Structure 1
Amino acid sequence: MPPPIALGIIGFGIMGERLLRAALAHAAESVTPVAVFDPAPEAAARLAAIAPDVRMLGSAEAVIAACECLYVATPPRLHIPLARAALAAGRAVFLEKPLATDLEEARGFVAEAEAAGARAAVNFPMASSPAVALLAEWQTALVPERLEIGVGFATWPRGWQQGAAGWLARRAEGGFTREVVSHFLFLTRRRLGPLALQEAKATYPAGDGAETALRARLTAGGVPVTLTGGVGTTAKDDHNTWVLNGAIRLRDWSFAEKLGADGAWAAPPDAMPNEKMRPLVLQRQLAGVAAMTRGEAHHLATLREALEVQEMVEAMLATA
């Protein structure tokens, strides 16, 4: 077995910490976290408490120099500058979405990276989800006819994201469409085919706040798709469904369910909630990161897939 990949992390917020913990606890055979950079004063203390053997370095450049693959978990405006720096240094890159806050910048970056044969992928965890794999198995018995996607939130940002509300709650970089709907668009693109927007309506509050509601019609590989989302529409922190033909669905990120003859949705007996499935998903994601870094075939979301998702997201958000 090849040695684990040296992984650097820039951005030690929720996602950076989550991936680090997964790497240490579940993916030691795939990656070894070697260095982190985050300018927030409390980040170093959190890292020391979680992983005292992983160094907090003084700059992004130092982390890039120390690693084989860079994980970028910063606010979106920094994704492409950091990715470009890492690729220029000969490193592989694993990016959070969206690729950028500007579509033209994202398009230019993807074109450059593809032309150079860059080793780069984007963190859409549904690429590694056992529940999604089960849906794909069930889908072989169906001819896709229609898809309904619904997302709802008690508040935005979600309770566990309040520390990042400074950008997640703002129209420029945040909002549930970029943060959550994008995952379901990725899933839809993978399962059904290319996306095309028919119509959409985003609702915004006064000021620079992120969207509070979204309705859209689109197609995926020619299949009609309806999408609804809203804040204050559920008592849950986060509730979502992806329903194909009214017959199979993904619910709340991790439950693959079939509609029974009795009209009730049922999941397999070994189904588990997202908080329990997440470590397995991240373990598989990190195995993909190791393969991608070595130049091997992998199942992770490509830059092109992430760009197509972002183009759809920004088109919907521009319909206020």
Structure 2
Amino acid sequence: MSVDIKIIRIGVIGFGTIGKYVVDGALAHDEFEVTAVFDPNLLSASAEFMSRPEYRRIRLMASVNELVSCERVDLVYIATPPASHIEYCRLALAQRKAVWCEKPLSVDLTAADKLVEEIEAAGVMSAVNLSLASSPILDKLLSLAEEVGHGEAQQVEMRFHYSQWPRHWQAAADWLSSREQGGFLREVFSHFVFLQHRLFGEMKLVKGQVTFAKEGCETYVMAEYLCGDLPVRVCGGIGGAAPDTNEWTLYTDRRAIRYSDWNKLSIGTQDSWNDIEIGQVGSAVSLQLDEVAKMMTGKPHKLASFREALAVQVVVEQTLNSSC
């Protein structure tokens, strides 16, 4: 069921780094109006929030229930830590609101599986914010992977490294360093699992080794998977001064195709790596909002479904538990 209105009214639960990013992106998008926000941290800072000219027309809600039941909200965007996602999705679902949820979908696979069944049975518009879904990077990789001239796929490698975790721009989000909800596998690796699933099908864990901080998230991972017959190897860690590494590489019998640093594509031969021109693209949030608008008006879109997000989370959680 699509929304037969010119402006899509969005209510946002959670006003941390990503929540603010989406609010600001929606305010700049001509198909959206941010009508409501709830974050418990804003309840004591409402005057400061409302003093921002761009936020003055946004209503600060006293609770999640008040936001999801508001008649001036067509779409509920959930930007809170993952342990709350299922509860908030269900509250929105009870009000027959469209749902756009942050990844990871949940840290409880059994509960997440049940939620996906409920959402599919209800038939409400829904998606999970795996941002590569709308990226031209994914479109280009799909094209490159299908070109015969690039050779037959032999293996995929993913590499991740962070000098600190959470990253400096996420320092206020303490939950990102917790074993229960955080870590780079849930926060970053999940994007690359989604990418791999869209390109080659679902990953199946073969074996994994994960090391955790004494009272925190993972600090090292080495794991192997299969996508059909295609081997996928993953290595990642935290610590040591160096630029962050976020890298996916497909090796074929003729060359290699690499995606790195969130916006860079390269073709590799035995002699060198050569960058591929992607062209001018919009910001990640504007591209996602374009696809959300399509979803809300009943048009075909590229957004990740809850079912796809669940498949991603199965890989992530199985990896985290592989050394237990």
Normalising by structure 1, we get a TM-score of: 0.91
* Partner secondary structure for residue 150 of structure 1: strand
Deviates most, 290-299 or 246-255: 290-299
Whole-angstrom distance in 1 between the partners of 2:50 and 2:261 = 30
> What is the match of residue 301 of structure 1?
304
C-alpha displacement of 1:269: 7.4
C-alpha displacement of 1:24: 1.8
Deviates most, 283-292 or 254-263: 254-263
- Mapped pair 1:123 → 2:129: yes
Q: Is the 8 A contact 2:107 2:317 kept in 1?
A: no
> What is the match of residue 112 of structure 2?
106
Normalising by structure 2, we get a TM-score of: 0.90
> What is the match of residue 3 of structure 1?
6
Change (3 A) 1:73 1:154: same
> What is the match of residue 28 of structure 1?
30
Residue identity (%): 38
Whole-angstrom distance in 1 between the partners of 2:50 and 2:143 = 40
Q: Is the 8 A contact 1:197 1:218 kept in 2?
A: yes
- The gaps in structure 1 that reach 5 residues or longer are 272-276
* Partner secondary structure for residue 212 of structure 1: strand
C-alpha displacement of 1:261: 6.4
Change (3 A) 1:227 1:233: farther
RMSD over aligned CA atoms reads 1.9
C-alpha displacement of 1:224: 0.7
- Mapped pair 1:59 → 2:56: no
Change (3 A) 1:126 1:179: same
| Pairing of 1:168-317 with structure 2 (within 5 A) | 168-206=176-214, 208-233=215-240, 235-236=242-243, 238-245=244-251, 247-260=256-269, 262-268=271-277, 270=279, 279-317=282-320
Whole-angstrom distance in 2 between the partners of 1:98 and 1:189 = 15
Measured against aligned partners, the alpha-carbon deviations of 1:159-216 in whole angstroms (never above 9, x if no partner) come to: 1000002x1111000011000100000000001112111001110122x300001111
Q: How many residue pairs align between the two structures?
A: 309
* Runs of 4+ deviating beyond 4 Å: none
> What is the match of residue 274 of structure 1?
none
- Structure 2 counterpart of 1:150, one-letter code: R
- Mapped pair 1:92 → 2:94: no
* Partner secondary structure for residue 154 of structure 2: coil
Whole-angstrom distance in 1 between the partners of 2:220 and 2:197 = 22
Q: Is the 8 A contact 1:154 1:234 kept in 2?
A: yes
> What is the match of residue 80 of structure 2?
74
Q: Is the 8 A contact 2:266 2:273 kept in 1?
A: no
Whole-angstrom distance in 1 between the partners of 2:220 and 2:15 = 30
- Mapped pair 1:148 → 2:152: no
- Mapped pair 1:136 → 2:142: yes
Whole-angstrom distance in 1 between the partners of 2:221 and 2:105 = 21
C-alpha displacement of 1:300: 0.3
C-alpha displacement of 1:132: 2.2
- Structure 1 counterpart of 2:275, one-letter code: A
* Partner secondary structure for residue 145 of structure 1: strand
C-alpha displacement of 1:60: 1.3
Whole-angstrom distance in 2 between the partners of 1:262 and 1:174 = 39
Change (3 A) 1:48 1:176: farther
Whole-angstrom distance in 1 between the partners of 2:204 and 2:103 = 20
- Structure 2 counterpart of 1:112, one-letter code: E
Whole-angstrom distance in 1 between the partners of 2:229 and 2:34 = 42
